[in-house]
């Protein structure tokens, strides 16, 4: 895979490809999705959704899969698969017994020397019955980088890392889904996926992250649709502040996203797609679109952020005031923060069961 930077024409072409490919049958996108033959697909849970509980050290007292099952989830994300073959077999049996699915977040090989360890982890994930792998390779772009050159060089490094991982994924027939983790606009990520052209590397769609990059959630989904393997479902609320706007995960149904419409589109893409709830209970994120630093990585035609996208985003913020006060954890005791997180997750799970058939 070449690390040559994409130009604006390639980015726009990728958008056209995304729109056309959305109408194609699922088989046109490469590897078949991992089936779940055991009945109704349940909503999984992402680790960021129970950060308070992890910090309280209450999850570590039981196996993660037992904790997820006992709390009503149909799947989970976790870091590494069981390395021991016998442990992997037991894990897979438990998944099948509970009618659950699992996604693993395995470190990708940043160098050639790291490939053997990656190979062993992918093999273990396959033996443990993984639905697939998840990768969140970036931080918040507008916070991490001070100039375009550094951002683009880092993007090239990540492309090389994924290209290094791809033959191992093909070897074990395990798919890797890369999250839109506030690092790339959707056309950038779609152009990369098109250039890589692998049925084993796709997208883990986060429903709300690219609002921080001045994209509407349905625009993000549609641009990435041909490559989506799995998703973090969440709802988002926004609110103005002096340097831009605040962005928060909120209980499902309390935000501005068209969750039912997005779910319908994604299920048409893949009826077996795995969805994980990522209701992150934290302070609202500051999206400082009125600051110079926010725009530092968008000052090059290879990575444009058009002014009309900013205008549409600010209009969305203005027209969608929060239905409730944005969740906040500052000043809460650990016990109160944990209760708030548990309440948010429980009520979101109940809403998904009633409204999304999960």
pLDDT at 3 > cutoff 70: no
Lowest mean per-residue pLDDT among 34-38, 50-54, 182-186: 34-38
In sequence order, the β-bridge partners of residue 232 are 206, 276
pLDDT at 295 > cutoff 50: yes
Give kind and range of the element (H or E) at residue 244.
Answer: strand 244-250
pLDDT digits (tens, 9 = 90+) for 263-288: 999 999 999 999 999 999 999 999 99
Candidates 249, 238, 208, 207; CA nearest to 314 is: 238
Tokens of 354: 């009633």
- The Cα–Cα gap between 210 and 216 comes to 7
Confidence at residue 22, expressed as pLDDT on a 0 to 100 scale: 36
Confidence at residue 56, expressed as pLDDT on a 0 to 100 scale: 64
**CA distances for 192 relative to 3, 146, 159, 203, 227, angstroms:** 10, 23, 8, 11, 10
pLDDT at 329 > cutoff 50: yes
Confidence at residue 40, expressed as pLDDT on a 0 to 100 scale: 52
pTM metric for this prediction: 0.88
What percentage of the chain exceeds 70 in pLDDT? Answer: 87
Residue 135 — pLDDT band, cuts 50, 70, 90? very high
Strands 228-233 and 201-206, bridge-based pairing: parallel
Confidence at residue 123, expressed as pLDDT on a 0 to 100 scale: 97
């Amino acid at each position: 895979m070449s690390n040559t930077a994409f130009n604006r024409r390639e980015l726009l072409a990728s958008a056209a490809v995304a729109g056309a490919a959305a109408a194609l049958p699922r088989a046109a996108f490469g590897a078949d999705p991992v089936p779940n033959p055991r009945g109704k697909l349940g909503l999984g849970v992402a680790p960021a959704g129970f950060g308070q509980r992890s910090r309280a050290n209450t999850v570590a007292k039981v196996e993660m899969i037992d904790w997820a099952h006992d709390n009503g989830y149909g799947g989970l994300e976790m870091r590494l698969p069981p390395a021991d073959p016998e442990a992997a077999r037991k894990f897979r049996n438990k998944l099948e017994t509970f009618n659950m699915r699992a996604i693993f977040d395995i470190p990708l090989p940043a160098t050639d020397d790291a490939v053997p360890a990656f190979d062993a982890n992918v093999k273990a994930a396959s033996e443990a019955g993984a639905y697939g792998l998840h990768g969140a390779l970036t931080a918040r772009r507008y916070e991490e980088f001070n100039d375009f050159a550094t951002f683009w060089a880092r993007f090239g490094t990540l492309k090389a890392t994924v290209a290094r991982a791809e033959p191992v994924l093909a070897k074990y027939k395990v798919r890797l889904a890369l999250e839109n983790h506030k690092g790339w606009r959707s056309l950038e990520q779609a152009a990369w996926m098109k250039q890589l052209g692998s049925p084993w590397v796709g997208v883990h769609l986060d429903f709300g992250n690219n609002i921080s990059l001045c994209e509407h959630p349905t625009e993000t989904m549609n641009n990435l649709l041909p490559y989506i393997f799995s998703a973090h479902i969440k709802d988002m609320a926004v609110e103005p502040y002096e340097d831009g706007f605040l962005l928060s995960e909120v209980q499902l149904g309390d935000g501005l996203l068209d969750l039912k419409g997005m779910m319908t589109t994604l299920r048409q893409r893949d009826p077996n797609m795995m969805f994980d709830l990522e209701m992150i209970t934290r302070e609202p994120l500051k999206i400082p679109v009125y600051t110079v630093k926010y725009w530092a990585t968008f000052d090059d035609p290879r990575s444009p952020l058009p002014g009309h996208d900013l205008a549409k985003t600010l209009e969305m913020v203005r027209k969608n005031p929060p239905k409730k006060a944005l969740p906040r954890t500052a000043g809460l005791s650990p016990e109160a923060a944990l209760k708030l997180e548990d309440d948010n997750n429980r009520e979101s799970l109940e809403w998904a069961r009633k409204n999304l058939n999960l």
